[in-house]
Amino acid sequence: MDPTRAGGVLARHAGIDKETGQLAGTADDGGPRKLVISSDFYSVYTSAGAKADGLVNLYCWAHIRRYFVRAGDANPDQLKYWTQAWLERIKALYAAHEQLMTAWAQAAGAQNSQTAARLEQAYQAWDKTIGAIDAARLEQMAAPGLQEPAKKALATLDREWNGLITHREFPVISLDNNAAERAIRRPVVTRKNAYGSRNDNAALLAARIWSITATAEMAGLNVLTYITAYLDACGRNGGKPLSGPKLERFLPWNATSADLDTWSRPPRPG
């Protein structure tokens, strides 16, 4: 909801000191705080990652895929099969990453020789697939006579390469940021249908409400049941907002299993 996309917005949201460019605060173990940002190639994210120790950029493979699709669309006669080959390489990488995510989760849940072997095989499959992509991009970038749209796609791949291959170190995180973009789709469409917010306070209120409802959905709660329970508790609190332990009870990560079970159910009839 911020009116700009400047670096200061990311600094406030992510806890980055504007003077030093470093992440503020410490981790739970007392060491430097770490932060992973899964995003597109917007320069603000790139700049923050280059400055802040402990900040890791993971770039979106769905975004890089679009560059190859657009290159093919720009010159289909010359680049049709070239584009198809690149889409197949990226498809293979998604399959390798899915295998890695599954093996990593199994190894984290039960560490034994079998899960360790599957995890090692998954890493080998990833390395083989990303190695084929690396070899193809380097060979094609050095080749003469490549069409300009293809050159631009490869240049983008080369420029963002480090943030794209770092996904190997974070198999629990998706290769793209599609989930985040889908999460804000409804608020964005609603905002457009309403012709935007009339003032800053209305925008801030909308951002707060959507943040709460999205958090409830991510926790598997029924939004109407959850909000109704909170407002009912406010009514029992003399019609005043909750605070302290009464409020913290409604944070999904603090809630009891009984409350989470109740709030996950559809609203009662009537």
Write out the DSSP string of 48-106.
HHHHSTTEEEEE-HHHHHHHHHHHHHHSHHHHHHHHHHHHHHHHHHHHHHHHHHHHHHH
Final residue belonging to a domain, choices 20, 37, 59:
59
- Tell the residue number behind the tokens 């909308």, with chain if given: 206
53 and 131, same domain (yes or no): no
Q: Which of 255, 56, 87 is nearest to 167 (CA)?
A: 56
Residue 165 domain flag:
yes
Contact status, residue 255 vs residue 264, Cβ threshold 8 Å: no
Distance of alpha carbon 163 from alpha carbon 37, whole angstroms: 10
pTM: 0.81
> Does some domain include residue 212?
no
One domain, residues 137 and 87: yes
Identify the pLDDT of residue 206: 86
Residue finishing a domain among 19, 39, 59: 59
Same domain, 174 and 85: yes
> pLDDT at residue 66 above 90?
yes
In a domain, 73, yes or no: yes
Confidence grade of residue 168 (pLDDT, cut at 50, 70, 90): very high
Do 248 and 158 fall into the same domain? Answer: no
Q: Are residues 19 and 82 in the same domain?
A: no
Quick one: what percent of the chain has pLDDT higher than 70? Answer: 100
Check whether residue 91 and residue 127 sit in a common domain.
yes
Asked if 233 contacts 246 with a C-beta cutoff of 8 angstroms, the reply is yes
Same domain membership, residue 78 and residue 49: no
DSSP strand E in the chain: where? Answer: 35-39, 55-59
Q: For residue 3, is pLDDT > 80?
A: no
* Domain's final residue, options 41, 59, 77: 59
Specify if 127 maps to a domain.
yes
CB 42 within 8 A of CB 5: yes
Binning pLDDT at 50, 70 and 90, where does residue 19 land?
confident
Within a domain: residue 111?
yes
- Cα 238 from Cα 249, distance rounded (Å): 18
Residue among 89, 39, 82 at smallest CA distance from 63:
39
pLDDT band at 45 (very low <50, low <70, confident <90, very high): very high
Residues 116 and 160 in one domain: yes
What's the whole-number mean pLDDT along residues 242-246? 95
Quick one: 41 and 53 in the same domain?
Answer: yes
**34 lies in the same domain as 133:** no
Instruction: Count the domains in the chain.
Output: 3
Whether residue 205 lies inside any domain: the answer is: no
Residue 79 sits in the same domain as residue 141: yes
In which domain, by residue range, is 45 found? 7-59
In one-letter notation, the amino acid at residue 124 is Q
Q: What is the mean pLDDT of the chain?
A: 93
pLDDT at 2 over 80: no
* pLDDT value of position 70: 97
Residue 225 and residue 258: Cα distance in Å, rounded?
14
In a domain, 251, yes or no: yes
**Is 55 contained in some domain?**
yes
Residue 204 confidence (pLDDT): 85
70 shares a domain with 167 = yes
**CA distances, 143 to each of 19, 133, 147, 154, 241 (Å):** 44, 15, 11, 12, 66
